[in-house]
Amino acid sequence: MKYRCILLFGAPGAGKGTQGKIFGAIPKFFHCACGDVFRNLRTDTPLGKVFLQYSSRGELVPDEPTIKLWKESIKAATSVGRFHPKHDLLVLDGIPRNVNQAKILRDTLDVVGVFYLENSNPEKLIERIQRRAIKENRLDDANLEIIRQRLKTYEAETKPVLKHYGNKLVHVINADQSPAKVLADILHYAVQK
């Protein structure tokens, strides 16, 4: 069985997490942020160390351990009854993060919509990431050079995922708007899925 899902897509700092948390509070939606799954790892475990190694450089963790960890996390959420794959729409944030991950997950995900949170101003993204770094104690987001590398990684590796899914699935959302307006725009399409 494939998981019916929508993807929250966009650059770091675009507001995917904010939207994802709201979706997570609505019955029949289950939000999963891949970055949170990594951040919940203990840093003294082998994979926790690998995560720190890559995230502290603004780079992606290699695909194989990422997909394995993500699958384990979804299975764990299912077995404790937090996620009901038959009834819930899975809201993914931060995965698939490159075209290879999208290909690996082709048999696992039934992607019914991709919401591309598009920002016009990269400087605003940087400001937002830095504010969040302090508030949420996110090491990878504290340093300007790492943030710039994260944005480069996004442009080079993540953005091509949009083309992979194609125009029919992708909805462009103006992420310069207030969070409430962004939510309204996403919901407009998502409730039809």
Which residues of the chain form contacts with ligand AMP (CB under 6 A)?
12, 34-35, 38, 54-55, 59-61, 66, 94-95, 97, 101, 140, 150
The residue (of 19 and 66) whose beta carbon lies closer to ligand AMP is 66
- The residue among 101 and 182 lying less far from ligand AMP, judged by its C-beta, is 101
Find out whether 93 and 33 touch, Cβ atoms under 8 Å: yes
The minimum distance between CB 176 and ligand AMP, in angstroms, equals 20
- For ligand AMP, the closer of residues 140 and 185 by Cβ is 140
How many Å apart are CA 143 and CA 130, to the nearest integer?
Answer: 8
* Listed residue (188, 154, 151, 146) closest to 171, CA to CA: 188
Whole-angstrom Cα distance, residue 1 to residue 21? Answer: 25
Q: Which is nearer to ligand AMP, 45 or 184 (CB)?
A: 45
The candidate with the shortest Cα–Cα distance to 163, out of 130, 121, 114, is 114
**Shortest CB 80 distance to ligand AMP, Å:** 22
Strand, coil or helix: 10 = strand
CB of 192 to ligand AMP, least distance (A): 27
> For ligand AMP, which residue has the nearest CB?
35
Would you say 54 or 189 has its CB closer to ligand AMP? 54
3-state DSSP call for residue 141? helix
Decide if 40 contacts 33 (C-beta within 8 A).
no
Q: At closest approach, how far in Å is the CB of 62 from ligand AMP? A: 7
* Direct distance between the N- and C-terminal alpha carbons of the chain, in angstroms, rounded to an integer: 18
Shortest Cβ 173–ligand AMP spacing (Å): 18
Amino acid letter, 44: D
